[in-house]
Amino acid sequence: MLSDLQLRHFRCFESLRVDFAPGFNFFIGQNGQGKTSILEAACVLLRLQSQRSSTLAPLVRVGQKSFGLQGQWSGHGLEFRYSALRRKLVFDQVEQRTSAEYLALARVVSLANTDIELVRGGSEFRRRFLDFLGLQLEPSYRPTLRSYERALRGRNALLKAAQPRPRELAAFDPPLLEHGAKLSAMRSALVQHLVAPAGEAHREISGSQETLELAFTPGNDVDFAADLEKSRPQELRLRQTVVGPHRDDITLLVDRMPASQYASEGQQRTIALALKIAQARLFAAREGTPPLLLIDDIFGELDPARRNRLLRSLPDEAQKLVTATNIAWQEEQTDGPVFQLAGGVLIAA
């Protein structure tokens, strides 16, 4: 578990320290007080990435050049310092040259209001969901993803040139094909692993007999090389690579109907929650211990029955950091410290 967290020049905070308890930890305050930033800091400390932002630069407090995070996870000391010029990782007081040992320690699942975009939003939201999972489960996922992204950026930059040369363009094809095939294969396997726990969680939260189906939808045909070659006229016209894992997606069906088109908002939120609970259960099954759950202001968007069913579906032994504007939604008693946050000051209620 995360026993403490210290922030320095992170988002709206000049400095802050929080000591956590096992189980539930509630952070109550009005919007704009920094509740979500505390959860984000926990995610960045443990995973070196934000659940809210694709880059870390926006996390630096306005007027500062860097931020620092420290904490203890299961008795291990962690420290991460970030600036535009340097990143510093410290694990048990020893500075790390690579992130491998550091990232092997903890797993994180984030549940937030914006998760509804997993169902009704564009495919980029579902790819980000898979990547957040894959980066924590598979050691080879990070280098594969980064290698594919480098090849894609280089290829797209060349396509945007005034007159892209076929020979130069072809030089990017081998790394794109190699790493792209590996990336899609890992994403496909992740979706297969999510099918059963997502369906189970969906039934628990919805309290209905609706069936949730997941299927991986690759961004290219089975023969990636042939598909890439066939798309050449279109990519020269659009000046971008039009097939590949950057177009991968997850198809979501409720009772065999597309969830984005036919599910109500309540059903869509239930599907999104089921996907996140499935993440947590997959981590617990693979790692033997549950992940840290970051639950950001979601209960006010759910009817009382779904709130209670969601609470019951969360792993009992998991540590949970929960934000809300108030705690009036809490119908079932859940023990844990309650912190009031206002003006950058955190007070135990």
Same-domain check for residues 130 and 240:
yes
In this prediction, residues 87-95 reach a mean pLDDT of 97
In this prediction, residues 220-238 reach a mean pLDDT of 94
Same-domain check for residues 192 and 318:
no
Same-domain check for residues 17 and 136:
no
pLDDT in tens, 317-329: 999 999 998 876 6
C-alpha torsion sign, points 113, 194, 39, 23: positive
Q: Count of domains in the chain?
A: 2
Query: Is residue 226 within a helix (H) or strand (E), and if so which, with residue range?
Result: helix 224-230
In this prediction, residues 294-298 reach a mean pLDDT of 93
Same-domain check for residues 142 and 262:
yes
CA atoms within 13 A of residue 192's CA, in its CB half-sphere: 6
Confidence check: pLDDT of 335 > 70 = yes
More confident residue, 313 or 43: 43
Confidence check: pLDDT of 242 > 60 = yes
Query: By residue range, what is the domain housing residue 7?
Result: 1-106+291-349
Instruction: Using pLDDT thresholds of 50, 70 and 90, give the confidence band for residue 261.
Output: very high
Contacts of 172 (CB under 8 A, 6+ apart): 151, 154, 155, 158
Same-domain check for residues 14 and 45:
yes
Contacts of 128 (CB under 8 A, 6+ apart): 54
Instruction: Using pLDDT thresholds of 50, 70 and 90, give the confidence band for residue 58.
Output: very high
In this prediction, residues 72-83 reach a mean pLDDT of 97
Same-domain check for residues 324 and 256:
no
Residue 273 pLDDT: 95
Q: Helix (H, G, I), strand (E, B), or coil: what is residue 270?
A: helix
Same-domain check for residues 276 and 135:
yes
End-of-domain residue from the set 285, 302, 320? 285
In this prediction, residues 205-213 reach a mean pLDDT of 89
297 found inside a domain: yes
Instruction: Using pLDDT thresholds of 50, 70 and 90, give the confidence band for residue 304.
Output: confident
| Residue 245 belongs to domain with CATH number | 1.20.1050.90
Residue 333 pLDDT: 57
113 found inside a domain: no
115 found inside a domain: no
pLDDT in tens, 5-35: 999 999 999 999 999 999 999 999 998 899 9
End-of-domain residue from the set 259, 285, 311? 285
In this prediction, residues 134-142 reach a mean pLDDT of 95
> What average pLDDT does the structure give for the chain?
93
118 found inside a domain: no
| Residue 70 belongs to domain with CATH number | 3.40.50.300
Residue 332 pLDDT: 58
End-of-domain residue from the set 270, 285, 300? 285
Show the tokens assigned to 188: 């496909």
